[in-house]
Amino acid sequence: MSTVEFGSVGEWNARVPLLIIGAGAAGLCAALAASEAGVDAVVIEREAVPSGSTALSAGLIPAAGTRFQRAKGVADSADQLAADIQRKAHGEAAAALAETVARGSAPLIEWLTERHALPFELIENFNYPGHSALRMHGLPSRTGRELIDRLRNAAELSEVVVLTGCIAETLFAEQDGRVRGLEIVPGGGKRERIGCDALILACNGYGGNPELVRRFIPEMAEALYFGHPGNRGDAVLWGERLDAELACLGAYQGHGSVATPHNILITWAAIMEGGFQVNARGRRFCDETCGYSEQAAEVLRQPGRIAWDIFDARIAAVARQFEDFQSAERAGAMLIADSVDELAAKMRVPADIFAEEWRNVEILKARGAVDRHGRRFSAEQQLVSPFFAVKVTGALFHTQGGLVIDTPVASSARMEAYSPIFLPPVGRRLEFQEPPQPAIYQATVY
C-alpha cells in the first residue's frame, strides 16, 4: 500500500492524459474542471459510492466577493479573506497560497452554481470564528452529503469516468521522480496498471492512519477520529518515497463539539450565538470563540475528555438548519431544562459552580464585557429558558499538511486552464510547461 516503484514499467493496461486519486470534493471538482478544459480524466475511488470527508462535513465553503454576498449587501474581498486566513493562522500560512485560495474562492462558488447547478446560498444567521464578513456558502440541507451527491451527479452529466471500488496502491516513476502511472486493485482483485501524463492527488490527509497521527500530531492521538477511514495518508507516504518536500504535517482541523456517545456533530453556531462550554466540574475553561478546531484539544484536556455545550431555544432554532443537529435531537443527545439548577442536575455537575459560571457569563453579556479567558460577550446573546445542554468531546476531522507545492506564479497558466481549481505541481518543485510534463499534482478545494 502507498508504494513507489522506480524504473521501467512494461505494458500499461490503459493510458489516459490525467489520473485523479480520490472522488471527494477536491477530486470531483478537479475532474469537472479538466473536462471543461478538454482533458480526459479518470478518477480512482476506493469506495463503492464517492463520499470522503466531504460527506461527513457541513458542506460549507467560505468565499469572498460572491454575487450571493453582494445580493445581501455584504462587502467582502479576496484581500480581506487572505488577511483573515493569515490572522487566524497567526501569520504562519504561506502568503502566496492564502492569496491564491482567496482569489479562487468566489469563482469556485460561481462556477459550481452556474455551470453545474449547485444551489448555494449565503449563511446569514451566524458566523464562524476568524471571518470578518459573512462568507460561508452552503446548500439547502447544510450537509456535505448533499455537496458530494451533487458533485457526483455533475460528474456523471459531464461523462467523467469514475472507477469506484478501486484502491490505488503503487505509483510508477522514473528515476528522477516523474510519475508515469499507477497500479490499482479493483474489487475483483485483478491488478491493473494505468499510465498517465499527469496525476492529481486528491486523497485528503492521514487522519485515518493512527501511526501517522501519533507521529505528527501526538496531542490528537487518542481523539475520536471523525473523518473518513480512507484518509490513510497515501499522498504523504507517496511523497516521502518520491523524496518530495513535506510541510505543516502538524496542522489539522479538529472540532470541539461532537456529541458523545452519539458521535454527531453539533454546529459551532451553538457557541458563536451566545452559548458556552463547561467541563464535568461545571467550570468554563477557555475562550470558546477562538475556533472550533482549536477547541478540540481544549476539550480533550478536560476531566473525562468531555465538555458540555450550553445554549438556549433561540440558539437551537439557528442550529436546526443543520441536519446533524436535528439528528442529535432525535437521538436524545439534548438535555432540556427550565432552570439552571435543573439543567445542572440533569448534567450531574456541581450546581453551585455551574450557577456561578452561568451568572458570570450573563453579567458579562449585559455589560458587553470581556471575560478572564479573553472572550467578548454581546448583550444581544443572553440565554432565556428553556435551556439546553449537550455532552461533547473533541475530535480529529482531517489533517492539513502535506506536499509542498510550486508557487501560484509558476502555475498561473495551468490555473487558468483548470479554473477555478488550483492544481500546482508538487514534490520536486517542477515548473509548469506546455504541454504538461509528466508530473504529480495536488488538488486544492476551498
| Structure confidence at residue 407 (pLDDT) | 56
Answer yes or no: is 126 within a domain.
no
Q: Is residue 41 part of a domain?
A: yes
The answer to whether the beta carbons of residues 302 and 280 sit under 8 Å apart is yes
pLDDT of residue 409: 38
Same domain, 317 and 414: no
pTM, 2 dp: 0.84
Q: Is position 238 within any domain? A: no
- Is 72 part of any domain? no
Residues 324, 44: Cα–Cα separation, whole Å: 29
> Does 387 share its domain with 410?
no
Euclidean distance between CA atoms 230 and 54, whole angstroms: 12
* 244 falls within a domain: no
The verdict on 378 and 420 lying in the same domain is no
Residue 277, pLDDT score:
98
- CB-based contact 443:26 (threshold 8 Å): yes
User: For position 177, what pLDDT does the model report?
Assistant: 85
Residue 373 lies in a domain: yes
Please give the Cα distance from 261 to 271 (Å, whole number): 20
3-state SS of the chain? CCEEEECCCCCCCEEEEEEEECCCHHHHHHHHHHHHCCCCEEEECCCCCCCHHHHHCCCCEECCCCHHHHHCCCCCCHHHHHHHHHHHCCCCCCHHHHHHHHHHHHHHHHHHHHHHCCCCEECCCCCCCCCCCCCEEECCCCCHHHHHHHHHHHHHHCCCEEECCCEEEEEEECCCCCEEEEEEECCCCCCEEEEEEEEEECCCCCCCCHHHHHHHCHHHCCCEECCCCCCCCHHHHHHHHCCCCEECCCCEEEEEEEECCCCEECCCHHHHCCCEEECCCCCCCCCHHHCHHHHHHHHHCCHHHEEEEEEEHHHHHHHCCCHHHHHHHHCCCEEEECCHHHHHHHHCCCHHHHHHHHHHHHHHHHHCCECCCCCECCHHHCCCCCEEEEEEEEEEEEECCEECECCCCCCHHHHHHCCCCECCEECCCCCCCCCCCCEEEECECC
- Whether residue 348 lies inside any domain: the answer is yes
Domain range spanning residue 371?
A: 253-397
Q: Is 143 helix (H, G, I), strand (E, B) or coil?
A: coil
Please report, in tens digits, the pLDDT of each residue of the chain (446 residues total): 689 999 888 899 999 999 999 999 999 999 999 999 999 999 999 999 998 889 988 899 999 999 999 999 999 999 999 999 999 989 988 898 899 999 999 999 999 999 999 999 999 988 989 999 999 999 999 999 999 999 999 999 999 999 999 999 999 999 888 899 999 999 877 899 999 999 999 988 999 999 999 999 999 999 999 999 999 999 999 999 998 889 889 999 999 999 999 999 999 999 999 999 999 999 999 999 999 999 999 999 999 999 999 999 999 999 999 999 999 999 999 999 999 999 999 999 999 999 999 999 999 999 999 999 999 999 999 999 999 999 999 999 999 888 887 754 333 322 232 222 333 333 332 232 333 444 556 665 43
- Indicate whether 160 and 17 sit together in one domain: yes
Give how many domains the chain has, as a whole number.
Answer: 2
What is the pLDDT, as a whole number, of residue 2?
84
Phi-psi region of 108 (alpha: psi -120 to 50; beta: other; left: phi over 0): alpha
Q: Is residue 337 located within the same domain as residue 407?
A: no
Please check whether residue 258 lies inside any domain of the structure.
yes
Residues 257 and 331 placed together within one structural domain of the fold = yes
- Whether 259 and 334 map to the same domain: the answer is yes
Residue 331 corresponds to which cell in the numbers above?
437521538
**Residues 333 and 436 both lie in one domain:** no
* Same domain assignment for residues 174 and 308: no
Domain identity same for 311 and 162: no
* 387 shares its domain with 412: no
Give me the CATH number covering residue 167. Answer: 3.50.50.60
CATH code, 362: 3.90.700.10
Specify whether 281 is located in the same domain as 154: no
Give me the sign of the Cα torsion angle 91, 94, 96, 102. negative
C-alpha span between 395 and 262 (Å, rounded): 13
Regarding beta strands 14-21 and 306-312, do their DSSP bridges make them parallel or antiparallel, or are they unpaired?
Answer: unpaired
Among candidate residues 380, 397, 414, the one where a domain is terminated: 397
